[in-house]
Amino acid sequence: MALAGGVRARRVFAGGKSRAGARKKVIIIGIDGMDPNLSEHMMESGQLPNFAKLRQGGGYSRFGTSIPPQSPVAWANFINGAGPGSHGIFDFIHRNPERQVAPFFSAAETVGGSGYWEMGRHKIQLNFRPFGHKASATLLRRQGVPFWDYLDEAGVDSTFYNLPSNYPPSESKYGHHRCLSGMGTPDMLGTYGTYQHYSEDGPIRTRDEGGGMRSMLFFENERAEGKLRGPVNTFLIEPEPVTVDFVVHRDKGARAAVIEIQNHKILLKEGQWSGWFKVDLEFSMPMLMRNEHISGIVRFYLQEVEPNFRLYVSPINTDPSKAKAKITEPKKFIGEISEKLGLFYTTGFQEDHKALSNKVFTDAEFAFQAGMVLEERLSLLEYSMDNYDDGLLFFYFSSTDLQGHMFWWDSDEKHPVRSAEDAKAYFEHLKGIYRKMDAVVGDIVKRYGADATIIAMSDHGFANFKRQFNLNGWLRENGYVQPASSTSIMADVDWYGTRAYGLGINGLYLNLMGRERDGIVESGQEREEILIELVGKLEALRDSNGRRVIKKVHRTDKTYVGPATALAPDLIIGYSRDYRASWSTCLGDMGEEILLDNESAWSADHCADVSEVPGVVFSNRPIAAEGPALIDMGPTVLEEFGLQVPPSMTGKNIFKG
């Protein structure tokens, strides 16, 4: 992909009033999950020449991550210039205490509408008087003020591409801020990406498996019919999903197939991916009203023609050329991008790691699909630079994180699902991504280094995920959860005998009276005693090999500062490297054993203690601060543009000692 400098289209400013910092340029490249141990090793062996050069100039440091080191928390720290006490995001998963452990996605919550007018099978919401119905809405749950608001107010342009933790994107009050939202942006089913898989040996009744659906295709005379499942039509009183029919014609001789869907005829050879195709999703509306049409996009991958026909369909992404959902600020921004770049992934999680975890993809197929995502990102990067004059430009890469989760394996021990040879090969593949990032940053330094402050940073590092800890199982075994026969905090726990529960990847909550609907632990002495007891016991826990499972347990009442702590867990569990919360415990299941091996293709993670998985920060300017961290990025940018850092930001300028 050629990124050499050339003729770039320039935006023309009408009425060039002089604005504070108008000529200043700051470019931030966010490389999710870029790890310092691996980066340092690769710099030392000459594999990352551009990063090494920045380091030589004093522009490198390990970068403090968030407590806990999960992307929604970390990027919110970056956005607010302050920690979770300011933005209110503590994990991927939060709960409603007044509904006792009812879970929701921390960064964006869909709240129900109220009221409707019934018309036959349908209900419609009329938001004008005298009806005053409210449509259901998805609200951004991140609190506090994002640092770009101050840039906006000062007339400094800022554009963010694929920014995590900002869906729906917050509004620009003064019109100088633009954002394409990233992690957290749902697909058209309202999920984080649900593939649909069709095969001859698939289940007769469509089966949901976290992140995807499997169905059967039955061929008669080399022809089969299938249904693509779309979003639920909530205009119906008994909501049903919208479906799109398709027909597959198989040609065993040619090892190919034709897929007919709406007005498309798609010819694919075995092993071939299609481009993006639009699908029209039609929502039936009550009589007298025209049916609602929403456009989505999908791509097809013909995995096998015979002996077992297998067809993969990507999650249905919002069509960027006709987006109904607000995935950019301003709303029209996505259409402008699409005019130049056509159709592309618009969901927050684009690499289909679920397909790999669920064994729909092989390692190689996942690497290929992830490679296509990276190609699209590189085209978007080119677009971003073509449309950049001055102010702040932020651009995000997911590859090092999502490919990291599947391919990082920094050990000679047995990999959960791969042979030693393959584990090594795919870790090499990940290193190839690091080398690619080095080339990208090198190119940006070449193009803008003389005129701009350039920063490349990550939100956390990485570690093998070898052993998993059933926190809820441990709590039950130690009498904090009752009864002894319970299996899940979502189902069969006796709240009147339960003093603590685990939810999310790092959170532990007390069943506190007055806060939790069925709380029994009293504030004051009882709460204090249980917290001290839990911290002590958890930090003392050892695995059968003598290793400490948990490096540190953080009390949030002593860690988080700020007004947004109402939903915070009481304790954040900081696991040692190689350890993480178990798959089952995150949504409340007890599991059978307390400590066991991780057996998933998702074999590396970063939800360990904050001290175990710091990120990296590079710059073309020397980094003078000791121990820089994510919360420092916002204040640094503001001072770069000559603005004052507000007292609500607890971070400091990384360029000042």
| Minimum distance of another protein from residue 93's CB (angstroms) | 6
How many other C-beta atoms are found inside a 10 Å radius of the C-beta of residue 581? 25
| Cα separation values, 549 from 224, 247, 394, 542, 570, Å | 52, 52, 37, 6, 19
| Minimum distance of another protein from residue 312's CB (angstroms) | 16
| Minimum distance of another protein from residue 135's CB (angstroms) | 7
| Minimum distance of another protein from residue 136's CB (angstroms) | 3
Question: x/- contact string, 418-447, with another protein (CB under 8 A)?
Answer: ------------------------------
Q: Which is nearer to another protein, 52 or 463 (CB)?
A: 463
Q: Does 357 bind another protein (CB under 8 A)?
A: yes
Q: CA triplet 108, 110, 111: central angle to 5 degrees?
A: 130
Give me the residues paired with residue 197 across strands: 214, 312
Q: Minimal CA–CA distance to 118: which of 4, 287, 266?
A: 287
Q: Which is nearer to another protein, 402 or 550 (CB)?
A: 402
Q: Minimal CA–CA distance to 606: which of 628, 583, 579?
A: 579
Question: x/- contact string, 592-621, with another protein (CB under 8 A)?
Answer: --------x-x--x-x--------------
Please identify which residue in 63, 75, 78, 92 interacts with another protein, judged by CB under 8 A. Answer: 92
Q: Which is nearer to another protein, 99 or 332 (CB)?
A: 99
- Write out the binding residues for another protein, residues 511-540 only, by CB under 8 A: none
Please identify which residue in 405, 415, 418, 447 interacts with another protein, judged by CB under 8 A. Answer: 405
Measured CA to CA, the distance from residue 503 to residue 550 in angstroms comes to 17
Question: x/- contact string, 231-270, with another protein (CB under 8 A)?
Answer: ---x--xxx-------------------------------
Q: Which is nearer to another protein, 191 or 206 (CB)?
A: 191
| Minimum distance of another protein from residue 84's CB (angstroms) | 17
Question: Is-contact 168 149, C-beta < 8 A?
Answer: no
Q: Minimal CA–CA distance to 185: which of 375, 328, 307?
A: 328
| Minimum distance of another protein from residue 534's CB (angstroms) | 23
Measured CA to CA, the distance from residue 215 to residue 313 in angstroms comes to 11
Measured CA to CA, the distance from residue 72 to residue 506 in angstroms comes to 13
Q: CA triplet 582, 459, 51: central angle to 5 degrees?
A: 125
Residue 351, Cβ density class (10 Å: 0-12 exposed, 13-18 middle, ≥19 buried): buried
Please identify which residue in 259, 311, 343, 402 interacts with another protein, judged by CB under 8 A. Answer: 402
On the question of a cis peptide bond just before residue 330, with omega within 30 degrees of 0, the verdict is yes
Q: Which is nearer to another protein, 159 or 162 (CB)?
A: 162
| Minimum distance of another protein from residue 407's CB (angstroms) | 13
Q: Which is nearer to another protein, 234 or 284 (CB)?
A: 234
Measured CA to CA, the distance from residue 406 to residue 600 in angstroms comes to 9
Q: Which is nearer to another protein, 363 or 438 (CB)?
A: 363
Question: Is-contact 551 576, C-beta < 8 A?
Answer: yes
Q: Which is nearer to another protein, 562 or 615 (CB)?
A: 615
| Minimum distance of another protein from residue 338's CB (angstroms) | 25
Alpha helices (runs of H) in 343-449, residue ranges in sequence order: 353-357, 363-386, 399-407, 420-448
How many other C-beta atoms are found inside a 10 Å radius of the C-beta of residue 424? 14
Task: Find the distance separating the first CA and the last CA of the chain, reported in whole Å.
Answer: 38
| Minimum distance of another protein from residue 410's CB (angstroms) | 19
| Minimum distance of another protein from residue 489's CB (angstroms) | 11
| Minimum distance of another protein from residue 248's CB (angstroms) | 26
| Minimum distance of another protein from residue 334's CB (angstroms) | 23
| Minimum distance of another protein from residue 641's CB (angstroms) | 35
Q: Which is nearer to another protein, 52 or 213 (CB)?
A: 213
- Write out the binding residues for another protein, residues 100-139 only, by CB under 8 A: 102-105, 110-114, 116, 123, 135-136
Residue 372, Cβ density class (10 Å: 0-12 exposed, 13-18 middle, ≥19 buried): middle
Please identify which residue in 196, 400, 511, 584 interacts with another protein, judged by CB under 8 A. Answer: 584
Q: Does 554 bind another protein (CB under 8 A)?
A: no
Q: Which is nearer to another protein, 24 or 121 (CB)?
A: 121
- Write out the binding residues for another protein, residues 42-81 only, by CB under 8 A: 70
Measured CA to CA, the distance from residue 586 to residue 436 in angstroms comes to 34
- Write out the binding residues for another protein, residues 133-172 only, by CB under 8 A: 135-136
Q: Minimal CA–CA distance to 550: which of 531, 528, 529, 571?
A: 571
Q: Does 586 bind another protein (CB under 8 A)?
A: yes
Q: Which is nearer to another protein, 190 or 563 (CB)?
A: 190
Q: Which two tokens stand for residue 416?
A: 């959960």
Site for another protein (CB under 8 A): how many residues? 45
Please identify which residue in 312, 349, 579, 655 interacts with another protein, judged by CB under 8 A. Answer: 349
Please identify which residue in 260, 583, 621, 639 interacts with another protein, judged by CB under 8 A. Answer: 583
- Write out the binding residues for another protein, residues 314-343 only, by CB under 8 A: none
- Going across the sheet that includes 310-313, the strands are 207-209, 212-216, 195-199, 310-313, 300-304
Name the E strands within 252-350.
256-261, 264-269, 277-283, 292-298, 300-304, 310-313, 317-318, 328-329
| Minimum distance of another protein from residue 588's CB (angstroms) | 9
| Minimum distance of another protein from residue 101's CB (angstroms) | 9
Q: Which is nearer to another protein, 245 or 593 (CB)?
A: 593
Measured CA to CA, the distance from residue 51 to residue 64 in angstroms comes to 18
Please identify which residue in 3, 119, 124, 490 interacts with another protein, judged by CB under 8 A. Answer: 490
Describe the chain by its helix, strand, coil percentages, rounded to 5: 25, 30, 45
Measured CA to CA, the distance from residue 312 to residue 477 in angstroms comes to 43
Q: Which is nearer to another protein, 27 or 89 (CB)?
A: 89
Only segment of 281-289, 348-356, 472-480, 542-550 that touches another protein (CB under 8 A): 348-356
Only segment of 287-295, 352-360, 391-399, 629-637 that touches another protein (CB under 8 A): 352-360
| Minimum distance of another protein from residue 234's CB (angstroms) | 4
Contacts of 410 (CB under 8 A, 6+ apart): 37, 38, 427, 462, 463, 464, 604
Provide the residue type at 155 as one letter.
G
Question: Is-contact 353 406, C-beta < 8 A?
Answer: yes
- Write out the binding residues for another protein, residues 172-231 only, by CB under 8 A: 190-194, 208, 210-211
Q: Give kind and range of the element (H or E) at residue 398.
A: none
Applying CB under 8 A, the residues found at the interface with another protein are 70, 92-93, 99, 102-105, 110-114, 116, 123, 135-136, 190-194, 208, 210-211, 234, 237-239, 349, 353-354, 357, 402, 405, 490, 505, 583-584, 586-587, 600, 602, 605, 607
